[in-house]
Amino acid sequence: MYSPSPIICYGEALWDVLPTGRQPGGAPCNVALHLHQLGQAVRLISRVGDDELGRELLTFLSARGLNPELVQLSATHLTGVAKANIRAGSEQVVYKIAQPLAWDYIQHTDALRTATSEAQMLVYGSLAARSAVSRETLYRLLQHAGFKVFDLNLRAPHYSREVVKYLLRQADLFKLNETELAEVMTWLGRPAVVKYPAADSFRATDQRPAWQHTHLAWGVVGIFAYVGAEVAIGSHLVNYLQQTDAWELSAQDASFQVKYYWGAALVGRFLGAYLLGHIRPRQLLSINALGAVALVGLSISTHETVAQYSLLAVGLMNSLMFSAIFSLVLVGLGRRTEEASELLCAAIVGRAVIPTLLGYVADVSSLRWAFALPLLCYLYIVWYGGLCGNCPARA
């Protein structure tokens, strides 16, 4: 049974331009229309241009029985239009949204505040918070709202992590899809592993095996390279530090120094728990991998104190790579997430392969130049961090 107390939907009202034609859109507008069709009292807060498209949109809302009295008219900005395209080979819809538009400038008024305070619920999204004016109006209305529902509806590049996290804190209930869940979880420094019903319980939109997802296949190689490089350095450090051209230490003293390598990795993991909440994983991954490349290269090309401590400091660079790669790989895989996790775990075999290869190279050349092998592994991880700028993990 529906309450006579209205639900307020706040945000964009626009026209979606589809391959099949133009139709009214905007998540808040669509929610309002569906609620009204279900018999629920609802009011839409938005803004359209005082132009032909705007008047046509208001006429459409009125014809559907939705009172547009809280939809403002703008004499300075155009009615919103979003061009929608269906990505080839899938059913994913990609939107191209212009900026600025009328709904970027929803003005706070006494009428909006009163309507919000009298409503049973306020439904809002992230897209209308992309601009300062509409965002400030939303923030003020949230102070007067009763039950608050946040529909994330993340549309890159029209949102910021700080704004979304603030809106999440204000919400009593929030709705998000699989990809958005994974994105938010990466902000918290942990991967999102989603449990799915049996394969025959609903239709999958992507039937490809997990390993055919490009960012996953390269990510498995990334885990292989990272784990292999980390263990290869750690397992050969004692021998390296005993070399007279690096730092003439006894076996006991060299073993004592190795604790700084693993200790740096431990410190970095605690630091990473904070940094992953403020910096995108792919950016952190690239920064750390570049740091590891620089430090290993410095150790190979120098002697004594510099060679010793630059290699020990690689432990700090290693600290975030596993969690960053894991998070990037799992984003956007849907029902293939568990299968991908199994492949990633199998890639840990790199810790047996890379150290063995390093030992072989050291036998045929020198231990110093054998460390070029983990350097190549880190270069690959730098490349993978750049690759993920165009993979589903990108927000």
DSSP string computed for 201-231: GS--S--S-GGGSHHHHHHHHHHHHHHHHHH
Q: Are residues 86 and 172 in the same domain?
A: yes
Residue 301 lies in a domain: yes
pLDDT at 293 over 90: yes
pLDDT at 392 over 50: no
Q: Are residues 158 and 302 in the same domain?
A: no
The pLDDT mean for the chain works out to 84
Handedness of CA 182, 185, 189, 190 (dihedral sign): negative
pLDDT at 209 over 70: no
Helical spans, DSSP H, in the chain: 27-37, 52-63, 110-118, 132-142, 161-170, 178-187, 214-242, 251-275, 281-301, 304-312, 314-318, 321-330, 337-346, 350-364, 367-370, 372-387
Q: Are residues 158 and 232 in the same domain?
A: no
Q: Are residues 33 and 155 in the same domain?
A: yes
Q: Which residues pair with 125 in a beta bridge?
A: 151
Residue 162 lies in a domain: yes
Q: Are residues 122 and 244 in the same domain?
A: no
Residue 255: closest CA among 245, 244, 242, 266: 242
Residues of the chain with pLDDT > 70, as a percent, come to 85
Lowest mean pLDDT among 60-64, 73-77, 193-197, 283-287: 193-197
Give SS3 for 121: strand
Residue 114 lies in a domain: yes
Taking the alpha carbons at both ends of the chain, their separation in whole angstroms is: 39
pLDDT of residue 92: 59
Q: Are residues 79 and 37 in the same domain?
A: yes
Which CATH number is 142's domain given? 3.40.1190.20
Q: Are residues 27 and 124 in the same domain?
A: yes
Lowest mean pLDDT among 58-72, 155-169, 172-186, 187-201: 187-201
pLDDT of residue 357: 94
Where a domain ends, among 121, 150, 176?
176
Mean pLDDT, residues 341-351 taken together:
87
Contact present, 66 and 36 (Cβ < 8 Å): yes
Residue 369 lies in a domain: yes
* Cα–Cα distance list, 160 to 110, 164, 278, 330 (Å): 28, 6, 11, 21
Residue positions counted in the chain: 395
Residue 138 one-letter amino acid = L
pLDDT-derived band at 395, boundaries 50, 70, 90: very low
Which CATH number is 264's domain given? 1.20.1250.20
Residue 72 lies in a domain: yes
Q: Are residues 155 and 218 in the same domain?
A: no
What residue numbers bound the domain in which 142 lies? 7-176
Q: DSSP secondary-structure letter at 190?
A: S
Mean pLDDT, residues 104-130 taken together:
95
Residue 188 lies in a domain: no
More confident call, 172 vs 19: 172
Mean pLDDT, residues 210-229 taken together:
85
214: number of Cβ within 10 Å: 12
d(CA 393, CA 370): 34
pLDDT of residue 294: 94
pLDDT of residue 204: 45
Q: Are residues 149 and 254 in the same domain?
A: no
pLDDT per residue over 232-271, tens digit each? 998 888 888 877 454 566 777 777 788 888 888 888 878 8
pLDDT of residue 84: 75
pLDDT at 394 over 70: no
d(CA 12, CA 6): 19
More confident call, 114 vs 280: 114
pLDDT of residue 195: 53
pLDDT at 298 over 70: yes
pLDDT of residue 186: 79
Lowest mean pLDDT among 163-167, 272-276, 299-303, 363-367: 272-276
pLDDT per residue over 26-69, tens digit each? 999 999 999 999 889 999 999 999 999 999 999 999 999 999 99
Specify the pairing of strand 14-18 against strand 80-86.
parallel
d(CA 79, CA 82): 10
d(CA 38, CA 7): 12
pLDDT-derived band at 5, boundaries 50, 70, 90: confident
Provide the token pair at 322: 């596993």
Q: Which residues pair with 172 in a beta bridge?
A: none
Q: Are residues 227 and 156 in the same domain?
A: no
Where a domain ends, among 154, 176, 198?
176
Residue 185 lies in a domain: no
pLDDT at 185 over 70: yes
Residue 308 lies in a domain: yes
Specify the pairing of strand 42-49 against strand 71-74.
parallel
Q: Are residues 222 and 93 in the same domain?
A: no
Q: Per the structure, how many domains does the chain have?
A: 2
Where a domain ends, among 130, 155, 176?
176
Overall pTM surpassing 0.75 (yes/no): no
Give SS3 for 334: helix
Query: HSE of 60 in the Cβ direction (CA atoms, 13 Å)?
Result: 18
Q: Are residues 171 and 26 in the same domain?
A: yes
